[in-house]
Every structure is written in structure tokens, then in C-alpha cells.
Amino acid sequence: MMVMKNSIHGSKASLIQFLEQVTKRFLDMRYSLHQWSLPVSFMVVCPTRKNFSQKKIVTMMMCKQAHASLLQMPINLSLLRHRPQKEKVVVVMGATGTGKSRLAVDLATRYPAEIINSDKMQVYEGLDIVTNKITDEESDSVPHHLIGIVDPEADFTSSDFVSTSSVAMKSIIGRNKLPIIAGGSNSFIEALVDDRNYEFQSSYDVCFLWVDVAMPVLQQFVSDRVNRMVAAGMVDEVRKLFNPNSDYSKGIRRAIGVPEFDSFFRSEYSSSTDENLRSKLLESAINETKINTCKLACRQLRKIQRLKNIKGWKIHRLDATKAFQQSGKHADDAWAELVAAPGSTIVSHFTNEFDHSQGFTTTASDGGRKVIREFERRTAVATARR
């Protein structure tokens, strides 16, 4: 129960004005507690003019089932029209290889939206195969932000991500589109959502989608994916970046698939290493890449579970396991049924919640995307150099 005391010594109009102000605060609280259907009670204590010692008690009780009766009260609606409205943001989470980018694109083709990358390795320029950057074909013409914009030698931190992603979100919303943040770096997401100044939480409503795949199934997929990466030229890609004096704790060299090949590339520089040993070192590097990728997936899964179970984030889980157990058209059909369709329904309910008035328009032109991308690149460079 909330008790508000105010001394009103005036006309009936003054009392009405006071009650309008109380009602406004009441509706603001109702707005916040709407989804829990909790009863809200207000007791307004108003000393009357005739007898100051006598108190006139006005009590208003409301729960979700009693909205209509309260809305029939004669109040000044102009007080309510200017209540701040939070913008909407969708976050797609999941372990590596679960299809986060695929779902983000699926959603962005259903809603006028743009995607912000939250993978800490994909923000760097280069190593497109190693870091599994989305291809032009996979992106389906959906604009993507914060991909390949940071110098490979620089360190791009969580605070850097908060700054640059905030710029990207405002830019996307300024074009009347829905920002969709997608990536596996949960530390980036947590830093953005739970910033110390509460800037994100005070400005945005967020919908979390979690694409999950049973770990044994995912581990097999990850192993197969590494094989496909090797076939696509991964080893040559990493070889071009190799430097015997490299620091694997900084920049893009932290990516899984780079330090694992160090011994193999050193053997190529050594004339004393025979071909048989080199072959074994290459095989070992590939297997180590698979193992470390599976370990990463387990860590990412634990972080999501912590955010959900300990921090209390409302995360919608979408089980994609059956889609990964099939192939071809059957896999695509399972994905559409188990992931894309329910994910779209969740986002639809979310974007329409509380009669959100934001309208969404068509996508930007190619020229506009180039300007935006260059602006983000410069912002990222300036942020990383601070």
C-alpha cells in the first residue's frame, strides 16, 4: 500500500487536480506491474478545509480485472499522453553454432529490422572463416552492424561494445526499425543490459530469445562445422595472420582456431621438421579447435542459465535440437516450426505490448548502409583508442 499525504486547502477543483496527479502515478505503476496482475492499492490522505484535524480518506484498489472501472474515472488525459515510452529491442542468444544469426535474419525478414552483432570476434576485420561471419547470401539483404569494423590488433572490450551498440541502436530506431542484437558473447549482452547507470533499462524494453540445442547434438555439429571450415580454406586464412611473435591474448588472435595452429605453423618454418610430424601437428590443431569450440559452447550455455536462473532475466527458450538432427528440407521445416515461427510469435506479442506506437518502415538503401557502416567503424576505432 502506498500512502500519499497532501494538504489541500482550496476549492473542489484543487481536490480534483490532486486526484488527477495521484491517478497518473497510479496508472504509471499499473503500467509497470501490468504483466504480473498484482493488486495495487493507493490511500490518499487529504485534510479538508473545514476541519483540518479531520481526514478524508480516498482509497483506490485495482487489479488487472478492474482496469475498466478505473479508466472510467474523469481524469485529465493530457497528463497521461506524455508518459515516456520505452523503445523495443530483441536479443537473440545461444551457444556457438546454434543458429542465432539464422533466427535473427528470419525475424528481420518478418519485421523491418536491422541486426547488431554481439560476437566479440566477429567485430574484427578479417578471418571471416575462422570467426564464422555471416555471408552476404545468409544475410538475405538484412543490414548488419558491428561486423568487421575493428582493427585486428586492437582490443575491443565490453565497454566498447556498450558504446558502439548504443549508437547503432539509436541509429536503427531513428530509421523506425527494430534493433535485433545477435551473438554468442554473453558478457557483451550483460554489460549492455546491466550497465551501472541503468541507461539501457531506463530506455529500452528487451525481449530475450535463446536458441538451444542439446549438447551432444551440438558437439557433433560443431565438429562437422570445423571440418567444413578447414575445407573452405581456414588453415590458409590463419597462416596469413601468423607471426612467431604474436600475442594470442589480444585482438582477433584470441579467436578459437588461431592459437591452436601455432605449433603447426612453426613446424613449417623449421627445416628440421619432417612431413609426417607436420601432418600430425595439423591434425592435432584441427582436433584442438573442435575441443575448444565445444568447451566454449558449454561456457556460453552456463552463462545463459546463470542470467536466466540467478539474475532472473526473462529468456524465451527455443529448442532447435530436432532441426539439427535432420537434413535438407526436413531440417528446414523443423527449424521453421520449432524456432522461426514461435520466435516470430514471441516478438510479435512483445512489439505490440502496451500499444507501442513505434512504426517500422522499409530497409535502408545500399548507399545509406555504406555511410552507416563507415560511421560505426570510425566510432569503434575512436572507442577502442580511448
| Cell numbers describing residue 33 | 506491474
User: Under a CB-based contact definition with an 8 Å cutoff, are residues 211 and 304 in contact?
Assistant: no
Q: What is the pLDDT of residues 193-251, one digit of tens each?
A: 998 888 999 999 999 999 999 999 999 999 999 999 999 999 999 999 999 999 999 99
User: pLDDT: is 94 or 352 the higher one?
Assistant: 94
What backbone phi and psi angles, to 5 degrees, belong to 372?
Answer: -65, -45
Query: Looking at the chain, which residues constitute the CATH 3.40.50.300 domain(s)?
Result: 89-219+292-384
Type of residue found at 123: V
Contacts of 283 (CB under 8 A, 6+ apart): none
User: Under a CB-based contact definition with an 8 Å cutoff, are residues 44 and 4 in contact?
Assistant: yes
Determine the number of helices (DSSP H) and then strands (DSSP E) in the chain.
Answer: 16, 9
pLDDT at 146 over 90: yes
| Average model confidence (pLDDT) across the chain | 81
| Cell numbers describing residue 96 | 556457438
- For the chain, what is the largest distance between any 2 Cα atoms, rounded to a whole number of angstroms? 105
Q: What is the pLDDT of residues 1-36, one digit of tens each?
A: 444 444 434 455 555 565 556 545 544 544 444 433
pLDDT confidence of 269, banded at 50, 70, 90? confident
CATH assignment of 89-219+292-384?
A: 3.40.50.300
Q: Tell me the C-alpha distance between 96 and 110, whole Å.
A: 24
Q: What is the pLDDT of residues 297-335, one digit of tens each?
A: 999 999 999 999 999 999 999 999 999 999 999 999 999
DSSP character for 337?
Answer: I
**Residue 273 pLDDT:** 77
Q: Tell me the C-alpha distance between 209 and 212, whole Å.
A: 10
Contacts of 299 (CB under 8 A, 6+ apart): none
Count of C-beta atoms within a 10 Å radius of residue 139: 17
**Residue 271 pLDDT:** 77
**Residue 197 pLDDT:** 85
